[in-house]
Amino acid sequence: MLATTPPLRPTAHRIGTLAGHRDAVYALAGRPDSDRIFSGSADGMVVAWDSARPEADGELLARVENSVYALRELPGRGLLLLGHNFQGVQAIDLPSKTLAFATALPPVAIFDIVYSETRQRLYCALGDGTLAVLRGSDFRLEHLLRLSAKSLRCLALHEGRHELAVGSSDWKVYVLDLDSLQIKNSLSEATNSVFTLTYTPDGRHLLAAGRDAHLRRYDTTQDYALADSIVAHMYAINHLAFSGDGRYLASCSLDKSIKLWDPASLALLRVLDRARTAGHGTSVNKLVWPGNPHRLVSCSDDRSLAVWQVAVGSE
């Protein structure tokens, strides 16, 4: 249900820049209870940063041969998982900065990875339309499931619903049962590639966006019926991310902007771009909300990461 009163608009300002990559930065990983974040780039470098100290240098964790589009931290095991394009999945032991596991996959791009704690499985979205499922104990390959003739671009996992949502360049979203990997729903409202998916914190909705610049919200309690569809950006939407407290939804785009939305009403609250807030000058590719509930980090084709502080209800 839409909000009955307009939400308070936040302010946001850029508090730092994390620089050091030599090419476009495509991947970010982080979590609400830690200031530490990780970035992966077309330069093959995987770097750790302290988002609370943007003036500090990053720490190089790995240098690989090809681009890194996907990262996932497993804090309970002290591991950082990276999708090494055309090579497979590698797991870095963070305390020692050494390679703990490596699993070869089909020689294609790895666009996204998610990990199920309840099932101890890693799911990988591959550029040949295949979903790869790896065993969590040693990251050995268990299944290769072909879902599409086009690339699988993004994943969203909901443990409580026992479901995995998969966005594809065939313009569809597939909702799979986590145990059987059978397709439960196929959502076909998008008019181009689906680049990003996220469940709302309460699991009642799935949000999807991509190349057609629309933000769509599906009602999971009504068999994934389409609840809302808005034109959210001028060009492709690359990523969606909720703040740790669920107060804000952030989107970022090829149009060089970041937008903050009210999750209840999908009302636009704030635009972060070069003209208004000294934002990125090229495509913004990924977002993460680490540590402080209202600290946001973005990465871009401009080779940098930006650290933002959002002030609640300032206007």
Say if 4 falls within a structural domain.
no
Strand duo 59-63 + 68-74: pairing: unpaired
**Residue 2: inside a domain:** no
Letter for the amino acid at 136?
G
Query: Is residue 41 packed enough to be buried (19+ CB in 10 Å), middle (13-18) or exposed (0-12)?
Result: buried
Count how many domains the chain has: 1
Residue by residue, DSSP assigns 259-284 as EEE-TTT--EEEEE-HHHH---SS-E
Secondary structure E strands in 159-248: 163-168, 173-177, 183-187, 194-199, 205-210, 214-219, 225-231, 237-242
Q: Does residue 3 lie within any of the structural domains?
A: no
Closest residue by Cα to residue 299 from 262, 265, 250: 250
In a domain, 6, yes or no: no
Distances (CA, A) of 233 to 211, 251, 261: 10, 9, 12
| Distance in angstroms (rounded) separating the CA atoms of residues 185 and 171 | 14
Query: How much is the pLDDT for 1?
Result: 39
- Which residues, listed in sequence order, are joined to residue 48 by a DSSP beta bridge? 38, 59
Token digits for 35? 């200031």
Q: Rounded to 5, what percent of the chain is helix, strand, coil?
A: 5, 55, 45
Q: Is 222 helix (H, G, I), strand (E, B) or coil?
A: helix
Going by the DSSP 8-state scheme, the letter that residue 170 receives in this structure is T
143 located within any domain: yes
pLDDT along the chain (315 residues), means of 10: 61 95 98 96 98 96 97 97 98 96 98 97 98 97 98 97 98 97 98 98 97 98 97 98 95 98 96 92 97 94 97 65
> Could you tell me which of 250, 224, 229, 133 has the C-alpha nearest to residue 180?
133
CB 169 within 8 A of CB 147: no
pLDDT at 293 (0 to 100)? 82
Q: Spell out the residues 6+ positions from residue 117 whose beta carbon is closer than 8 angstroms to its own.
A: 159
* 155 close to 123: Cβ distance less than 8 angstroms: yes
Distance of CA 59 to CAs 20, 50, 65, 83, 94, Å?
10, 9, 18, 19, 11
Q: Helix, strand, or coil here: 57?
A: coil
Q: Are 302 and 38 in contact (CB under 8 A)?
A: no
Residue 226 identity: L
Q: Which domain holds residue 137?
A: 11-311
Residue 205 to residues 1, 29, 161, 253: CA-CA distances in angstroms?
11, 23, 11, 21
Instruction: Establish if 187 belongs to a structural domain.
Output: yes
Q: Determine, yes or no, domain membership for 5.
A: no
Query: What's the pTM?
Result: 0.95
Identify the CATH number of the domain in which residue 299 sits. 2.130.10.10
